């Protein structure tokens, strides 16, 4: 039987045994009344890990980002962000529809905004123009390859925003991948920003949930916004219990996912019709471009026929994401299967003898 190698996203990770056990025995209360002890423990631990005063447990990364936008800005403000950021590309225009914001996307080659680029688009105090209200960063940057923004780059960008008098929100869905990829302390990536959202349900393997962290006053506002958008949960301590396991047990192992992504990228290098930029493989993602006439859709279908599942990023581009559910043996299987599919010579002795 063909095996399945799930490379579509790290959102496919399943909860661990330890998470399921913690969920079964979690102490719970009504969290809209702020009376769920397990949620309190998760929020305290999460805030401490990213060096913030307070944090809020939210059902998804998208809702965490939306609550941050709503809490930092007023309708009519302009938000500066990268053109391929998740907030601009993948959050169903919630920033515009729900928060009434205008988005100002900036192009970059690798997801890393530059301070001069941001400075150049800050609005003057002019009655005709929307006021610049917020800068959003993304680390790791998903659509640009899982690339990392360093502590120095983060600080420099925050300095530009703060000098001009507006705050910075970090979409840090995979902030622990960034810290590990950079061999940095995660707090050096989060302390300079005013708020950070990170996900428990991606590489960290919790079934549900994200964290929004910031000052106590900011989190008080965000709590109200979360209620407004329907994210007030009741006995969600059962979910927070899994989130605590994610924070306490699952961070360090992300390094294995990074090693597997590199192994995958190196193994697939030179596949006919495919370009992979190895230099961009900084964390747990591998993106590839298909050269015409090959399309990403065709490539993905052929991969699926041998049990290797990947995600489409554009008509010519695909993405593979490594995570706890993908072993180094799975990576070797995927590489061998894809090389065979594309008629590459293989070193396998089985193949050599027919
Ligand atoms: N990303 C998902 C898809 O939505 C693309 C994935 O499979 O990678 N910020 C970033 C940088 C993200 O990558 C994601 C999810 C989110 C926010 C939103 O998180 P959720 O899915 O929990 O709303």
Q: Count CB neighbours of 329 within 10 A.
A: 11
Equal fold, 5-11+253-341 vs 17-248: no
The CATH code belonging to domain 17-248 is 3.40.640.10
Task: Kindly write down the DSSP assignment for every residue of 141-196, as one continuous string.
Answer: BTTTTSB---HHHHHHHHHHHHHHT--EEEE-TTHHHHHHHHT--HHHHHTTSSEE
Check residue 2 and give its pLDDT: 79
Ligand 1 pocket member 144 (CB < 6 A)? no
Per-residue pLDDT tens digits of the chain, which is 354 residues long: 679 999 999 999 999 999 999 999 999 999 999 999 999 999 999 999 999 999 999 999 999 999 999 999 999 999 999 999 999 999 999 999 999 999 999 999 999 999 999 999 999 999 999 999 999 999 999 999 999 999 999 999 999 999 999 999 999 999 999 999 999 999 999 999 999 999 999 999 999 999 999 999 999 999 999 999 999 999 999 999 999 999 999 999 999 999 999 999 999 999 999 999 999 999 999 999 999 999 999 999 999 999 999 999 999 999 999 999 999 999 999 999 999 998 765 444 344 333
**Residue nearest atom 3 in ligand 1 by C-alpha distance:** 90
Ligand 1 pocket member 173 (CB < 6 A)? yes
Q: Report CA Rg, the chain.
A: 21
Backbone angles phi, psi at 329, to 5 degrees: -70, -40
Task: Kindly write down the DSSP assignment for every residue of 229-247, as one continuous string.
Answer: TT---SSTHHHHHHHHHHH
**Residue nearest atom 5 in ligand 1 by C-alpha distance:** 90
**281 contacts: CB under 8 Å, gap ≥ 6:** 145, 146, 261, 262, 265
Atom of ligand 1 nearest to the CA of 141: 11
Q: Write the CA distances from 323 to 12, 130, 326, integer angstroms.
A: 8, 41, 6
Ligand 1 pocket member 285 (CB < 6 A)? no
CB 199 within 8 A of CB 46: no
Atom of ligand 1 nearest to the CA of 9: 7
Check residue 342 and give its pLDDT: 85
CA of 178 to the centre of ligand 1 (A): 15
Ligand 1 pocket member 209 (CB < 6 A)? no
Ligand 1 pocket member 258 (CB < 6 A)? no
309 burial via Cβ count (<10 Å: 0-12, 13-18, 19+):
middle
Check residue 18 and give its pLDDT: 98
- Of 307, 257, 304, the C-alpha closest to 284 is 257
Instruction: Give the dihedral sign, CA 118/121/124/125.
Output: negative
Q: Write the CA distances from 265 to 40, 125, 260, integer angstroms.
A: 41, 48, 9
- Of 310, 306, 333, the C-alpha closest to 320 is 310
**Calpha distance 204→206 (Å, rounded):** 6
Residue 12, both tokens: 């496919």
The secondary structure of residue 270, as a DSSP letter, is: T
Atom of ligand 1 nearest to the CA of 64: 23
What CATH class does 5-11+253-341 carry? alpha beta
Among 7, 64, 90, 311, which residue has the most ligand 1 atoms within 8 Å of its CB, making it the best to mutate? 90
CA of 173 to the centre of ligand 1 (A): 7
**Calpha distance 243→47 (Å, rounded):** 13
Ligand 1 pocket member 223 (CB < 6 A)? no
Ligand 1 pocket member 11 (CB < 6 A)? yes
Check residue 157 and give its pLDDT: 99
Ligand 1 pocket member 150 (CB < 6 A)? no
Check residue 253 and give its pLDDT: 98
**Calpha distance 136→205 (Å, rounded):** 25
Check residue 348 and give its pLDDT: 44
Instruction: Give me the torsion for CA of 193, 211, 244, 204, rounded to 10°.
Output: -80
**Residue nearest atom 17 in ligand 1 by C-alpha distance:** 61
Q: Where are the domains of the chain?
A: 5-11+253-341, 17-248
**Residue nearest atom 18 in ligand 1 by C-alpha distance:** 61
Ligand 1 pocket member 171 (CB < 6 A)? yes
CB 309 within 8 A of CB 6: yes
- Of 183, 196, 173, the C-alpha closest to 85 is 173
**Calpha distance 87→94 (Å, rounded):** 8
Stated as kind and residue range, the H or E segment containing 281 is none
- Residue written as tokens 């990213």? 50
ω into 185 cis (within 30 of 0): no
Q: What is the pTM of this model?
A: 0.96
80 burial via Cβ count (<10 Å: 0-12, 13-18, 19+):
buried
**260 contacts: CB under 8 Å, gap ≥ 6:** 284, 322, 326, 327, 328, 331
Stated as kind and residue range, the H or E segment containing 212 is strand 210-214
């Amino acid at each position: 039987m063909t095996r399945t190698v799930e490379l579509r996203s790290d959102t496919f990770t399943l909860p661990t045994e330890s998470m399921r056990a913690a969920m079964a025995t979690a102490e719970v209360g009504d969290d809209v009344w702020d009376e769920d002890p397990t949620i309190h423990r998760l929020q305290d631990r999460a805030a401490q890990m990213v060096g913030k005063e307070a944090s809020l447990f939210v059902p998804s990364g998208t809702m965490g980002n939306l609550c941050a936008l709503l809490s930092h800005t007023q309708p009519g403000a302009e938000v500066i962000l990268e053109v391929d950021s998740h907030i601009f590309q993948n959050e169903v225009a919630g920033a515009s529809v729900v928060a009434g914001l205008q988005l100002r996307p900036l192009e970059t080659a690798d997801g890393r905004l530059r301070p001069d680029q941001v400075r150049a688009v800050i609005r003057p105090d002019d009655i005709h123009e929307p006021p610049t209200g917020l800068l959003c960063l993304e680390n790791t940057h998903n659509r640009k390859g899982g690339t990392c923004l360093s502590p120095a780059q983060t600080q420099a960008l925050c300095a530009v925003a703060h000098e001009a008098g507006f705050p910075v929100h970090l979409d840090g869905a995979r902030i622990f991948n960034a810290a590990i990829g950079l061999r940095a302390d995660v707090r050096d990536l989060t302390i300079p920003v005013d708020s950070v959202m990170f996900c428990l349900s991606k590489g960290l393997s919790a079934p549900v949930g994200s964290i929004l962290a910031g000052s106590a006053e900011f989190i008080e506002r965000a709590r109200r916004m979360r209620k407004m958008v329907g994210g007030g949960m009741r006995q969600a301590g059962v979910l927070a219990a899994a989130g605590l396991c994610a924070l306490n047990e699952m961070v360090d192992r992300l390094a294995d996912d990074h090693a597997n992504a590199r192994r995958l990228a190196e193994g697939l290098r030179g596949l006919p019709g495919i370009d992979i930029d190895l230099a961009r493989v900084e964390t747990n993602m591998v993106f590839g471009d298909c050269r015409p006439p090959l399309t990403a859709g065709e490539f993905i279908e052929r991969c699926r026929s041998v049990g290797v599942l990947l995600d489409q990023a554009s008509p010519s581009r695909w993405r593979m994401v490594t995570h706890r559910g993908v072993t180094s043996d799975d990576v070797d299987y995927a590489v061998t299967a894809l090389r065979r599919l594309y008629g590459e010579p293989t070193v396998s002795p089985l193949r050599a003898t027919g």
